[in-house]
Each structure stands twice: as structure tokens, then as C-alpha cells.
Amino acid sequence: MGCVSETCGSLNRMGFVDLVNSLYLRRLRRQVASGPIPRHVALIIDGNRRWARQMGLAHVSLGHQAGAEHIDTVLGWCADAGIRHVTVFVASADNIRKRSPDEITFLMHLTERVIAERLAQPSSRWRIHLAGHLDLLPDSTAHALKLARETTAGQETDSHLTLAIGYSGRAELVDALRSLFEQEARAGTTTAELAERVTVADIASQLDTSGQPAPDLVIRTSGEQRLSDFLIWQTAYSELHFCDVYWPGFRQRDFLRALRAYAARLER
């Protein structure tokens, strides 16, 4: 029995679009594979609430849910591309202080169930690191994140994922300097002596990200073109890529375009 012509035409168009998308992705993968790949990619996953409104969802928190679930997908793209260090800006200290209690409660539940639990599975390829003030989080959320870090600490892998939550780049620098002063004071170093010989490496050793390479590429979704207090020390020489799509709608083609742009900048 033949199909209605309008339905057949719609199916044919869908098949054609799928074919074009597949060919385009294949081309992007070839282009990315031929150029330098960033060792470390940092992601500012912005636009969850605006995506929810755009999609006509009943509550903006559903955008956070879609965004949290999307992290795993994008981590898979990073792994496939050979990127071994990823940092994800889950929530800033400012967000946690200023957003409504109901929204933050929902976001923290997502962090526990969708992010921490999934990443702590035995099959996970990522070793988890944390950045930020965990004392800003509910005890259950802080516990889930610490458990994920501890569970993956012995993972036989060269893939490292840092979750920045309750994070502020400026606060991190203040904490790093305070820690350095206290450490040197215990060793008997005077303030004058420390001022004379302090180095970039001394400060970097006290950061939440100590031991991790600086990001080569920072990707921010949603069209905003600022770092918003994210890794302000570590991104001094990072390439920045701003993408207009909201985080839950961030597609593999958008990711590959960012990698292609990174490679093109290095070549220049």
C-alpha cells in the first residue's frame, strides 16, 4: 500500500537532511583530526534556563536537568576527540547565593543524581577533581561530589574531569594567597622575604586546579562573551570560543567547529 504523497515527501526530506548532516559531521571530523587538538578544554555551560523558555517547558529547572544530562554526551565527544582534560563550570558561587532556593535545591539534586553518581560508576573513564567552595553546597551534595572524587581516584586512566561548583576565580586566588602566606609563615619566612621571591609557580601550586594543565580552549555557550569569574588565573593564555546556542542544544557540530577554530588560530 503506497504512502500518502505528502508523508512520503516529508520522509524523503528528513532522510536528505540526515544525510547532509552526516556528511557534514564526517567532514568536520576529518578537519579536526588533521589539526592540533587541545589537551584541556574548559566548558562554561550557560543558557539552561533560556533553553527551557525557548522550548516552552513548564519550569526553567527542566533546562538544568537537560543541561546536566548533556554533560555526559559532551564528555563522550571530548574522549572521542582525544581530549584528556576537561573542566566543567557547573555552578558559580554567585549563582548559588543569588538564585532562588527552589532552583538551587533542584540543581543540587541534579548534581548528586545525574552528575556525581553517573561519573562515579566503575565504568567511568574520568578521574574526578573538584574546584570551588563545597561549604556553599548542601551536605548531601558535597558528600556525593567527594565520593565521586574518592571513587575515581584510583582509576587507571589518563582522563581527568574537574567539576567547578560553588566556584569563584577571584575567591580561589584569595584562598591561594592566604594558603601560601600561612605555609610560608609556618616555615619561618617573613613577609618581606616572601614578597622578594614569590613566583607564579608558588601561587599556582595553591590553586584548586594544582597539578592540572591550564585550559588550551574555553568554550562558552549561550552567546555571552565573558568568562564570568571562571578560571581567571588559569585562562591567561587560553583560546576562547563563544557559541550562540544554549548548552542543552549544544550539538556535536558546534563542538567540532570550536575545535576547528582552535586549530586554525594555532596555525595563524
| Active site positions, annotated | 46, 95
CB distance 88 to 163 below 8 Å:
yes
* For the chain, the helix, strand and coil percentages under 3-state DSSP, each to the nearest 5: 55, 15, 30
Describe the strand order of the beta sheet including 40-44 as a list of residue ranges: 127-131, 160-167, 85-92, 40-44, 217-220, 239-242
Residue 167 to residue 174: CA distance in whole angstroms: 12
Closest CA to 96 of 140, 57, 134: 134
Rounded to 10°, the helix 5-33/252-267 angle is: 30
CB distance 248 to 225 below 8 Å:
no
